Amino acid sequence: MSAALVKALVALAAMAAVAELAAAKSHTIEWSLGGNYGDWSNGNAVSVGDTVVFTYSPTHTVHELSEADYKACIFGNAVSSDRSGSTAFTFDKAGTRYFACATGSHCAQGQKVAITVATSSSPGGQSPATPSGNGSSAASSMAGAGELAMKLALGLGVGGALLAAF
């Protein structure tokens, strides 16, 4: 009986951990000449906390640019650059970020993507719009844990009493 309750508690904790992990997504962009990146950003919702990984052959680069440099394919003032073949960005705030390939005329030919990062929309996430909701759910789950602990203690007490009776 008490072992079953402990198992239930462990299962609940594991489920909560999985739900937390699922809130942040990882997206992959296959970065090549001729990729249609306007379509990519329309079809992929990126939220704060998400990661975008560019995967590409060594002929390409991933440069992060300002909006003006992105529009003009100017790489001299890049925010960052990488040519490792796998470049990951984890977005910690909302806004639009601009990326392009610096090889040859790849940028002018369309190897560029603007990624709009939205504030997190996951329920129970870090959204500042629902602080009272988070607080009350934390309080009720603590109350639930207390109740389970009480039942556990009662179960042990009854078990002990029964053992003593025999």
Residues that bind Cu ion (CB under 5 A): 60, 101, 103, 106, 111
Closest CB to Cu ion among residues 30, 67: 30
Q: Which residues, other chains included, contact 126 with Cβ-Cβ below 8 Å and sequence gap of 6+?
A: 48, 49, 120
Question: Closest approach of Cβ 32 to Cu ion, in Å?
Answer: 7
Q: How far is the CB of 71 from Cu ion (least distance, A)?
A: 17
CB of 43 to Cu ion, least distance (A): 21
Alpha helix locations (H) across the chain? 2-23, 37-43, 67-72, 131-165
Cβ proximity to Cu ion, 104 vs 157, nearer residue? 104
Write the CB contacts of 18 (distance below 8 Å, at least 6 apart in sequence).
Answer: none
In the three-class reduction of DSSP (H, G, I as helix; E, B as strand; rest coil), residue 104 is classed as: coil
* Nearer to Cu ion among residue 87 and residue 111 (C-beta): 111
Order of strands across the sheet with 46-47? 46-47, 112-118, 95-100, 62-65, 80-82
- Between 50 and 61, CB nearer to Cu ion: 61
How far apart are CB 91 and Cu ion at their closest, in Å? 22
Nearer to Cu ion, 103 or 119 (CB): 103
Cα 124–chain centre separation: 13
> Least distance in Å: CB of 108 to Cu ion?
11
